[in-house]
Amino acid sequence: MLDVGIVGAGPVGLCMAGLLLRRGLDVAVFEKRTSPGTQTRAIGIHPPALAVLESIGAAGPLIGSGVQIRGGTAYSAGRKVGSLDFGLPGAEYPFILSVPQTRTLAVLEDRVAALGSGVLRRGIEVLDSVPDGGGLLLRGRRADGAGPAAPFEARCRLLVAADGAHSGRRTALGVTPTLRSYPDHYLMGDFHDGTPYGTEAVLFLEAPGIVECFPLPGGIRRWVVRMGRPAAEPSAGFLAELIRERTGAVVEPAGNSMLSAFGVTSRLAPAMVHGRTILLGDAAHELSPIGGQGMNLGWLDAAALAPLLERMVQVERGRPDPTLHAELAELERVRLHAARKASRQAGINMALGRPMPPAVLRVRNAIVGRLVRRPAVAGFVARRFTMHQVD
Ligand X SMILES: Cc1cc2nc3c(=O)[nH]c(=O)nc-3n(C[C@H](O)[C@H](O)[C@H](O)COP(=O)(O)OP(=O)(O)OC[C@H]3O[C@@H](n4cnc5c(N)ncnc54)[C@H](O)[C@@H]3O)c2cc1C
Work out how close the CB of 124 gets to ligand X at its nearest, in angstroms, rounded to a whole number: 6
Least distance in Å: CB of 125 to ligand X?
4
Residue of the chain from 6, 9, 74, 159 that contacts ligand X (CB under 6 A): 9
Q: Considering beta carbons, is residue 47 or 289 the nearer one to ligand X? A: 289
CA atoms within 13 A on the CB side of 66: 28
Q: Looking at the chain, which runs of residues are DSSP E strands?
A: 2-7, 27-31, 44-45, 67-69, 71-76, 79-85, 96-98, 120-122, 124-132, 135-142, 150-161, 178-192, 201-204, 211-216, 220-227, 256-268, 273-274, 277-279, 285-286
**Residue 266 binding ligand X, by CB under 6 A:** no
Distance CA 165, CA 177 (A): 10
Name which position in 2, 4, 6, 12 contacts ligand X (CB under 6 A): 12
Residue closer to ligand X by CB (options 58, 356) is 58
Distance CA 108, CA 106 (A): 6
Q: Any contact of residue 122 with ligand X (CB under 6 A)? A: no
Q: What is the largest CA-CA distance in the chain?
A: 68
Classified as helix, coil or strand, 39 is coil
- DSSP secondary structure of 102-162: HHHHHHHHHHHHHHSTT-EEETEEEEEEEEETTEEEEEEEE--SSS--EEEEEEEEEEEE-
Do 44 and 330 touch, CB atoms closer than 8 A? no
Residue 97 is a binding residue for ligand X (CB under 6 A): no
Q: Name the nearest CA neighbour of 299 among 38, 64, 51.
A: 51
Q: Which of residues 221-260 bind ligand X (CB under 6 A)?
A: 260
Write down the least CB distance from residue 100 to ligand X, Å: 10
| Residues 149-188 close enough to bind ligand X by CB under 6 A | 162-164, 168, 188
Site map (CB under 6 A) of ligand X, residues 313-352, x = contact: ----------------------------------------
Residue 66 has φ and ψ, to the nearest 5°, of: -110, 180
Q: If we measure between CA atoms, which residue out of 289, 294, 295 comes closest to residue 224?
A: 289
- Print the binding letters for residues 37-66 with ligand X: x by CB under 6 A, - otherwise: x---xxxx----------------------
Contact with ligand X (CB under 6 A) among 3, 4, 11, 390: 11
Q: Single out the residue of 76, 129, 256, 293 in contact with ligand X (rule: CB under 6 A).
A: 293
Which stretch in 33-41, 225-233, 318-326, 359-367 sits in contact with ligand X by CB under 6 A?
33-41
Residue 282 CA to residue 269 CA, distance in Å, equals 9
Sheet order of strands, 96-98 included: 44-45, 96-98, 67-69
| Nearest distance in Å: CB 369, ligand X | 25
Contact call for residue 262 and ligand X (CB under 6 A): yes
Among 97, 126, 205, 308, binds ligand X (CB under 6 A): 126
Bridge partners of residue 286, in order along the sequence:
267
Nearer to ligand X, 154 or 188 (CB): 188
Residue 23: CB atoms within 10 A of its CB come to: 14
Q: Which of 7, 62, 269, 372 binds ligand X (CB under 6 A)?
A: 7
Which is closer to ligand X, CB of 9 or CB of 56?
A: 9
Phi, psi of 178 (to 5 degrees): -75, 120
| Binds ligand X by CB under 6 A, chosen from 13, 135, 209, 353 | 13
Nearer to ligand X, 201 or 249 (CB): 201
31 is a contact residue toward ligand X (CB under 6 A)? yes
Does residue 353 belong to the site contacting ligand X (CB under 6 A)? no
Contacts of 6 (CB under 8 A, 6+ apart): 13, 16, 17, 27, 28, 29, 30, 159, 160, 162
For ligand X, the closer of residues 30 and 191 by Cβ is 30
At closest approach, how far in Å is the CB of 127 from ligand X? 6
Q: Which is nearer to ligand X, 262 or 380 (CB)?
A: 262
- Interhelix angle 294-316/47-54, rounded to 10 degrees, is 40
Nearer to ligand X, 122 or 356 (CB): 122
Dihedral over Cα of 356, 362, 363, 365: its sign: positive
- Residues in touch with ligand X (CB under 6 A): 7-13, 30-33, 37, 41-44, 125-126, 162-164, 168, 188, 260, 262, 281-282, 289, 292-296, 298
